[in-house]
Amino acid sequence: MQRKDTFSKIRPYNDYELPYAINRMLQNNGFISSLMNFMPDEPLNLLIRKIRKTKTCFEFQRNVFSKICQTFIDRSIDDLTIGGFDKLDKNKTCLFITNHRDIIMDSAIMQLYILSQGLKPCRSGIGDNLLSSPILTDVAKVCNMFTIIRSGNARQMVTSSKLVSEYIRQSICEEHESIWIAQRNGRTKDGFDKTQQSVLKMFCVSRRDLNIYDSIHELNLVPLTISYEYEPCDQMKARELILTANNKKYIKAPDEDFKSMSTGIFAYKGRVHLQFGEPVNDYMDRSLAFPNDNEKIQYICSLIDKQMYQNYRLWPNNYIAHDILTNSMEFQSHYSEFSKRDFIKHIRKQANVDDVSYAKMKQMLYTIYANPVKASMGKE
């Protein structure tokens, strides 16, 4: 009797589904253009032949997608550094919970690094709002991404949340496959990397028979912090924050998610640092008594956030923005006059949009860059 595929709606493709996905991808002009643009060292006919011979999704991820992502890095990042991975127990499966600054590059950078260490990449969560076309869905599911459903009515959202929670727990506890997931729904826009309590609550839905501490402990949460010198999509984020403050409700343009993905991938990022944290289990005091589960969740969120703030690498841009906003020279030793002029020039350029005043944009952009400094000082 064939086993029911409980997670077929959200899981990545299995290897037997790969040939069908490859056929669809190779019929897509956009995908072919991407191969030509981002893998230019390989003749297209030979590359297509190699892709058709690919037997597993892991091979596709290693031989095709990782090389495309490496091109993204080479073209938009000056220097990429990684820290903390050597301290993790490689025999333990992890739920990497990460700050979320860019839609694609946050997870892609981590996956490339894990591949470079000779390890199998983990499964990554991606919102269904980003899978706006069949080709994006095929690429995501071939590359070990599972879908987090964010659309539907209240009852559907409860069902979807339970399904994702069960998939994450089965992956970690039964299949010993690590997971990457963002600490919040949607990217951090204001520069404060705070974990949404609803994300941790979702983790626990799949084991209501356990108390909150035991449920979280079973998943082995490891905070992961990525720090960009130039904030991905800083102009789009500042504009959205201002319009949201003015209109209370921000309505996305039909192609806005795709535009955010493209901008985040191709825009210049300067230097980038990725820091693997330490397991939350090492710091979680399960003897602490709280009056309700919400406060337990809040306590665990605070443990994650503490590592996020400690591990965030502050760049000269962050210190410059803080000093400009506070009209001080408190952090002058962290930057040069040249870097200050360069950053101010960047802000002035990004502050030019059609529907928001230049002054408000400039103020918000400085705020986005300054807030990580405030977070490091415990002033979020």
The residues near 19 (Cβ < 8 Å, ≥ 6 apart) are none
Residue with tokens 């535009």: 259
Q: What is the model's pLDDT at position 122?
A: 95
Q: Which two tokens mark 66?
A: 């990782």
Q: What is the model's pLDDT at position 74?
A: 95
Q: What is the pLDDT of residues 336-367, one digit of tens each?
A: 999 999 999 999 999 999 999 999 999 999 99
Q: Would you say residue 3 has pLDDT above 60?
A: no
- The residue that leads in pLDDT, 242 or 254, is 242
What is the value of pTM for the model shown?
0.94
The Cα 380–Cα 283 span in angstroms is: 22
- The architecture of the domain spanning 79-229+267-313 is 3-Layer(aba) Sandwich (3.40)
Q: What is the model's pLDDT at position 2?
A: 46
Residue 345: which of 268, 273, 272, 262 has the closest Cα?
268
Q: Which two tokens mark 90?
A: 């490689």
The Cα 44–Cα 21 span in angstroms is: 18
**Sign, Cα dihedral of 141, 145, 149, 151:** negative
Residue with tokens 């539907």: 152
Q: What is the pLDDT of residues 36-62, one digit of tens each?
A: 999 999 999 999 999 999 999 999 999
Query: Which residues does residue 96 pair with via DSSP β-bridges, in sequence order?
Result: 180, 222
Q: What is the pLDDT of residues 72-101, one digit of tens each?
A: 999 999 999 999 999 999 899 999 999 999
The single-letter DSSP state of residue 304 is: H
Alpha helices in the chain (DSSP H): 18-25, 29-38, 44-52, 57-60, 66-76, 105-116, 134-142, 154-169, 197-204, 212-219, 234-247, 256-266, 293-311, 316-326, 337-350, 358-376
Query: Which residues does residue 80 pair with via DSSP β-bridges, in sequence order?
Result: 272
Q: Would you say residue 1 has pLDDT above 60?
A: no
The Cα 188–Cα 215 span in angstroms is: 26
**Helix, strand or coil for residue 319?**
helix
Average pLDDT, the chain: 94
Task: Quickly state the pLDDT bin for 246 (edges 50, 70, 90).
Answer: confident
Task: Quickly state the pLDDT bin for 67 (edges 50, 70, 90).
Answer: very high
Q: Which two tokens mark 153?
A: 């009515």
Average pLDDT, integer, range 242-265: 79
Locate the domains of the chain by residue range: 79-229+267-313, 317-376
Which of 157-171, 256-270, 276-290 has the lowest average pLDDT? 256-270
Task: Quickly state the pLDDT bin for 167 (edges 50, 70, 90).
Answer: very high
Q: What is the model's pLDDT at position 154?
A: 87
